[in-house]
Structure 1
């Protein structure tokens, strides 16, 4: 996620209780399952009747329908246009994905999130009106590469292409030293936001806080400086 996504998420209504997920492949199922478990009403849609039946059987949505989402009349009859937020999870079928997104925006759906399988696909989705485009395969690939090369990093939140907030394991080189002694801001250009111990985090730790190997710490800074941290 980056700053360009903030406008979209700020525009979402906090009281939204209903979502429609179009495309019940792995990504769509994951979105639908999570929303459903969080207590939201989800309408699942797919052109494959087997996926629809499986969604109902697995109870990952309150309702599920088989229909062709490239047909605007079918979407209207199913009541999809009445939803405030619709997720288009048809990432591997570019034409269907783009037409579906266009149908939704032309019908006045306020928030359309669309999955893209490539940069060009993403640009086309934006061109036809998608409010937010996600690249799950790309993001997972980047996350895996970072995990393999920096196994000490537990989690990461990208602020923009050059800056991140990361949770990492305190390296052995920092063991027993205070934040002041390490001079993380001067040496690495990083600020410590939190230090974890026994599943709890101390937020905005003082400069006298000592770090110990195996603890978790959360820092903010440039990706270049984060990569300079010892493993």
Structure 2
């Protein structure tokens, strides 16, 4: 996640309990379902009446409407312009996605997140006012590639192109050694943030803490240094 992204997410209202999702494809449905499970009010729309009916029947949304989001009047009538945050999840139809994003921004919505399917699509979305653009397929592919090349890394959070926080399996070489023994900062330039114990993470563990093979540890540092860790 880059600095512009951090700035965008910091601008979101902490007390926002309502979201609108435009587009009920796989990505849109996933967003709706997760928000709904977390207890938020979700209004979903799609031009396909069948998708709207399915979302209501499966109870992954609070409300769902069949509208053409390329029509500003339809968006206004549906109340989309009243939302603080709107997710435009129309990724595979570039024209409809761009027009919808433009309509929502011109309608006064302060936070608009849009799904892109290509670099060109991303540039168009930003040009018409999208505040944040996501590439679900690219991000999933990138994550898979990193997992294949570094199977010991379970999760990775990219702070910027050069630095990350990673959760990884404790290397065999570290088994039975204390944090002080490892000297991760001196040897690798890394800081240990947490280690797992009995299925839970211990934050800022003591230097005398011994690591166990098969458990997990969380480190922060430069990607080049992380890649030097034994696997």
Give TM-score, length-normalised by structure 2.
0.97
How far, CA to CA, are the matches of 2:27 and 2:224 in structure 1?
31
Aligned equivalents of 2:139, 2:4: Cα separation in 1: 16
Q: Which residue in the other structure is 2:176 paired with?
A: 176
Q: Which residue of 1 aligns with 2:198?
A: 198
**Shift of residue 212, structure 1, vs aligned partner:** 1.4
Q: Could you tell me how far apart the structure 2 residues matched to 1:27 and 1:222 are?
A: 32
Distance 2:126 2:229 in 1: 37
Aligned Cα RMSD in Å? 1.0
In structure 1, C-alpha distance between the alignment counterparts of 2:156 and 2:218, rounded to whole Å: 9
Q: What is aligned with 1:152?
A: 152
For 1:70, the equivalent position in structure 2 comes to 70
Q: Give the 3-state SS of the residue equivalent to 1:29 in structure 2.
A: helix
Secondary structure of 1:59's match? Answer: coil
- Deviation of residue 7 (structure 1)? 1.1
1:132 maps onto 2:123 in alignment: no
CA–CA distance in 1 between the matches of 2:163 and 2:222? Answer: 4
- Normalising by the residue count of structure 1, what TM-score does the alignment of the two structures yield? 0.97
Distance 1:121 1:100 in 2: 13
Equivalent residue number for residue 162 of structure 1: 162
Distance in 2, Cα, partners of 1:227 & 1:47? 46
- State the secondary structure of the residue aligned to 1:60: coil
Once the two structures are superposed, residues 89-126 of structure 1 have per-residue CA deviations (whole angstroms, 9 ceiling, x without a partner) of 00111111111010011111011010111122112111
CA distance in 2, matches of 1:175, 1:106: 58
Aligned with 1:221: secondary structure? strand
Residue segments in structure 2 that go unaligned for 5+ positions in a row:
none
Question: Quick check: 2-11 or 132-141, which moved more?
Answer: 2-11
Distance 2:228 2:135 in 1: 27
Q: What 5-or-longer segments of structure 1 have no aligned partner?
A: none
